[in-house]
Structure 1
Amino acid sequence: MPNFKPDLSCQSAFIPVDFSEQIIPGTFEYALNHIVNHHLDLRPFDSLYSNEHKGAAAYSPAVMLKIILFAYAHGMISSLRIAKACQTNITLMALSGDTQPHFTSIANFVANMHTQIEPLFTQVLMICEQQQLIGHHMFAIDGCKISSNASKEHSGTHDELARKAIRLRRASQRILAHHIAQDVKGEELPAREAKHKQTLDDTAQRIEAFLDNDANHERLATNKKPIKSNITDNDSAKMLTNKGTIQGYNGVAISDDKHQIIVQAKAWGAVNEQQTLQPAIKQLQQQLSHIGKDDSLLQAKFSADSGFHSKDNLTYLAEQGIDSYIADTGFRSRNPLFQNSQTYHAYQTTKRRKRGYDKPKLFSRGDFHFNRQALMCVCLAGNVMWLTSRKPHTNNDQRYLTFHGYLKDCRTCPVQSQCMRNPPKERGRQVTFPALGKPTKAASLIQIMKDKMDSKQGRREYSKRLGCIEPVFANITKQKKMDYFTLRGQTKVNAQWLMFCLVHNIEKLRGHVL
């Protein structure tokens, strides 16, 4: 029988640990420790404490910042996970000086730092500027949709929520009626049915309380349609992503192209992405002013995707004198590289099929015979269409001439299935043509931007946007696993989004602090 040494893995041992040796230069934790200890002004946190003369000693804001930002950088966003890591993670123990705050202390610190986080973000940005990590050659804006601490099942317009509350009350009554019908009126409901009934009643009561609160007024979108509210977090919104619909916020950020430093960040809820551009640029101008680069935006280029394209945004950028490159929805289709790409067309076909747009293509405006001199239009069946007005009407700052098919002609048309999706009931086919004449100011700006984007320089400059902003979101949500918000309300969620961005910027500084 061989003679082996005994297995002593079950035996406890005291191992000496030098905390100073756990924080190695060149790492994220070293940069975080150095920046918090030597560069950040943490005096604004003093207003959160009132224990100068009585009360227990509080955890230092410097220690709490190190704990939270290090935990975020390693995908630990839950306060419970962070508190447990303070007891088991040797690097976190070294950063915090072996303090072990309770998870409620961590959650309370995160929830109440919304007024202090913006100055900290600016201070770190100033360090990035001192280390020459910001190039000021191009800025790119984009949004990242992140799930929030809210249930999308509790979303809907006020009418939808009211109907849902009624359905829940009826379901609760059916449980009670079924129990009575079993001739057991004198007995109590079984525990399982009683729990189900209580859940239905509680949910209905929450919805009714939400609707009765005057502060939760129904908001309207730009098209005057009601926006879906949420009884858990009314500032959040239902958002469509490539992985389905989520209830969350859109984390908008502006990044510099030299080292992908985030220079501006803010989280938005139930707001169209187009509406975030102007506030983001105003905040960017303030940040650049803080770091001593007031005219940087006027000298740099600014790019954004089609989600930010609108006449109001183009007008604002033109008035501010910003050299912008904003793609429109038809930018890819006009690109010769994509027109002949089978991969692109296959992707578009799959995308339309997923959205339910796989119906056969109908006759377009180019298929109709339009005589501009005579102001006459003839359809493909040879029927003359009537002009609604000789004076062009304006739609989206473009002037159009509109023709209608006669109802009697469209009802008996042999190519009706190729021309209209549904059989005509009140009117025939409608088709519009651009009118001649001087375009409006907004229409001119839209056409100028299209021509600018279709030029060789425009395509070259816009192609830099991908490497400027997309790696930022990939690092935050995929590499660092900061892909959900634990707080509720736009103010607190915005503070947490700034902390996510702060982690990204500090990581960029890890090789530049000594």
Structure 2
Amino acid sequence: MKHDHISFIDYNMDQLTLPMDISELIPSHSVARVVNEMIERVPDQHFLKYYPGGGRSTYHPKMMAKILVYAYTQRMYSGREIAHQLTVHLPLMWLSGFQTPDFRTINRFRSERLKGLIDDLFKQVIVLLVEEGQVQLDSYFLDGTKIEANANRYTFVWRKSTEKYKEKLEGKVEELITQIDGVWKEEASCEENEKTVISPEKIQNKVKEWEGKLEKEPKNKELKKAIKVMKKDYLPRSLKYKKNLSICGDRKSFSKTDPDATFMRMKEDHMKNGQLKPGYNVQMASNEQFILSYTLHQRPGDTRCLIPHLQEVKAKFNIDPKRIIADAGYGSEENYAYLEEKKQEAYIKYGLFEKEQKRSFKKNPHHQSNWVYDEEKDTFTCAAGKYLYFTGEKKQTTESGYESTIRVYQCNECEGCPFRKDCTTSKYGRSTQVNEAYQELKSKVKERLWTDEGKQLYARRKIDIESVFGQFKGNRSFRRFFLRGLPKVNIEIGLISLAHNLLKSAAKKAA
């Protein structure tokens, strides 16, 4: 059988080819080049201050930082995988200068050396991006996302349950002491209504007291049994409950696998059962889809994260933005008052903002905002023409200590009113509450949001910060941390943020 002439491109694995310089094989706008350039421009002192000196030679921190940041741009998060790719992945081989640290060295650098370095490194890269004109710091698009912790989903400890078990245990201890001593002397010295706190220290002291008593009465079986129960059962449980409550702090729960993680509801709910998972609330801000800052929080709600986030960002990254744009989850009197005091413009909707724009709300005759207020008499007039009189003030204090003043108004003529069923379900008649400080702050925010600039900024919010979350959660599959504990998780969020910014920078330069 005859074949037509077949021609192949010359193939010879033993032939030396040019270029010999591996960098020539890296595309000019590759993210590897951007990673190399940016980290090289960070002054050495930012790396060296985390090295005490002495001992044997170690890998250069710039090289280690480069391979880790680049690995995170390529969805390589495991130390073993990064170590393997250092022998086969061309850009990684170039960035490492053909050095091959093993996975233990990579993991040790990531979890130990980067603890102090990561925030500093992120800050220096932001400074360089600002100098290049790629990043603006004036508008600050803020939002939070929950990322699952590297922890067992079922090793949870709940504060309420622990408090309940602790209370039951204290009852048993008190009962045993009363049984042995007849009356608890310490309790007898307290005021009648004051409950004595039974701490592990008090249990230990009581055991010592009984052991001394047992030496004098060695045949006292009841006392011997009581000491055994105290030492083997009650004392270990008391110590455990004390430790668990200490770890919880002001949180409602924590994970035994990663005690810094709190159980939260995640958007990624594959079972569709609202299952709580251990995780962290990551607060991030962006501009033009570049990440400007990040902070980690152990509480699920965003409202109380705003002020700690801004304070931490100011301290860590020296970022003090002029305009804060965020969704209604951050709209509270405390947050508005803080931003007003700091002279930062809040473009943050409050809970009822959207509802107030609806026709049904504006035409509802039973809503306080549609009533007539007489400033001179300090009264509201309802839809039925009845007066609501001022009855007094009450104070409300948030968990963080912020105090609000609420004015209360009450109607005394609801009996027989035809609108009563639609107006109120209270047997005492219709009442309403007014928070004057909050109303004033809301009106300022509302006015700001209705300007052309406000509408444009708020419209940009979804495109800006929510796209960032989509990038690293969706495109780079970073939905779960690989390290445990708040300091190490902070390293990971710093690495993924650096990787995101350098990918964005590479894309802009390639455009």
TMscore range, shorter length: 0.5 to 0.7
> Whole-Å Cα distance in 2 between the matches of residues 207 and 3 of structure 1?
86
CA contact under 8 A between 1:161 and 1:207: conserved in structure 2? no
Q: Tell me, yes or no, if the aligned pair for 1:155 and 1:229 is still in contact at 8 Å.
A: yes
Relative to 1, partners in 2 of residues 1:45 and 1:335: Cα closer, same or farther, differing over 3 Å? farther
Q: Partner residue of 2:205?
A: none
In structure 2, the partner of 1:187 is none
For the structure 1 residues 232 and 25, does the alpha-carbon distance in structure 2 shift closer, same or farther, using more than 3 Å as the test?
Answer: same
- Per the normalisation by structure 2, the TM-score is 0.67
| 8 Å Cα contact 2:162/2:244 also seen in 1 | no
CA displacement at 1:477 relative to structure 2 = 1.9
Residue 331 to residue 41, structure 1, CA distance change in 2 (3 Å)? farther
User: For the residues of structure 2 that align with 1:472 and 1:95, how far apart are their CA atoms?
Assistant: 26
Is 1:160 the counterpart of 2:161 in the alignment? yes
Q: CA deviation at 1:318?
A: 0.8
Partner SS state of residue 250, structure 1 = strand
Residue identity in the other structure for 2:348? I
Q: Which amino acid aligns with 2:280?
A: Y
Deviations 1:281-310, CA, capped at 9 Å, x for gaps:
3344457758xxxxx73xx43211112221
SS of corresponding position for 1:145: strand
1:240 to 224, 246, 265: 265
Aligned-partner residue type, residue 323 of structure 1: E
The alignment partner of 2:258 has SS state of: coil
Which residue pairs with 1:130 in the alignment?
A: 131
Aligned residues: 414
| 498 and 403 in structure 1: CA distance in 2 versus 1, 3 angstrom threshold | farther
Is 1:73 the counterpart of 2:82? The answer is no
Contact 1:22 1:94 in 2 (8 A): no
* 2:34 counterpart letter in structure 1: A
Q: What's the counterpart of residue 172 of structure 1?
A: none
Q: In 2, distance between residues paired with 1:445 and 1:249? A: 30
Distance in 2 of aligned mates of 1:101 and 1:338? 66
**CA–CA distance in structure 1, aligned partners of residues 347 and 2 of structure 2:** 76
1:114 equivalent in alignment to 2:96: no
> Does the alignment pair 1:216 with 2:234?
no
Conserved 8 A contact 2:473-2:479: yes
- Distance (Å, rounded) in 2 between the aligned partners of 1:506 and 1:447: 40
1:399 lines up with 2:407 in the alignment: yes
CA offset digits 1:411-449 (Å, max 9, x no partner): xxxx999987xxxxxx848753246xxx53343213332
Counterpart-to-counterpart distance in 2, 1:236 and 1:336 = 40
**Unaligned 5+ runs, structure 1:** 6-11, 166-205, 221-225, 291-295, 340-362, 410-414, 421-426
Partner of residue 177, structure 1: none
Q: How far did 1:164 drift?
A: 9.7
Whether contact under 8 Å (1:131, 1:512) holds in the other structure is: no
* Correspondence 1:450-461 to 2 at 5 A: 450-454=446-450, 457-461=453-457
CA gap 1:387/1:127 in 2 versus in 1, 3 angstroms: closer
- Pair 403,492 (structure 1): closer, same or farther in 2 beyond 3 Å: farther
Q: Distance in 1 between matches of 2:21 and 2:429?
A: 79
Matched, 1:22 2:15: no
Confirm or deny that 1:317 pairs with 2:318. Answer: no
Following superposition, the deviation at residue 402 of structure 1 comes to: 4.7
Gaps of 5+ in 2: 6-11, 167-235, 270-275, 397-403
The corresponding residue for 1:250 is 281
Superposed displacement of residue 163, structure 1:
8.2
Instruction: Using the aligned pairs only, state the percent identity.
Output: 20
**For 1:509, what is the secondary structure of its paired residue?**
helix
* TM-fit CA distance, 1:111: 0.7
Where does residue 501 of structure 2 map in the other structure? 505
Structure 1 length normalisation: TM-score? 0.66
Note the C-alpha offset of 1:389.
7.8
Partner SS state of residue 452, structure 1 = helix
Alignment of 1:98-497 (within 5 A): 98-112=98-112, 113-160=114-161, 211-213=241-243, 216-220=246-250, 227-244=252-269, 245-256=276-287, 259-270=288-299, 272-285=301-314, 297=321, 300-335=322-357, 366=367, 390-391=391-392, 393=394, 397-402=405-410, 428=427, 431-434=430-433, 440-454=436-450, 457-497=453-493
Which protein has the larger Cα radius of gyration, Structure 1 or Structure 2? 2
For residue 44 of structure 1, what is the amino acid of its counterpart?
F
**After the TM superposition, which of the residue ranges 471-480 and 43-52 deviates more from structure 2?**
43-52
Distance 2:63 2:388 in 1: 73
Distance 1:102 1:126, change over 3 A: same
How big is the shift at 1:4? 12
Quick one: structure 1 residues 162 and 219, their matched pair in 2 at CA, closer, same or farther if it must change by over 3 Å? closer
| Aligned CA-pair RMSD | 4.7
State the distance in 2 between where 1:21 and 1:463 align: 43
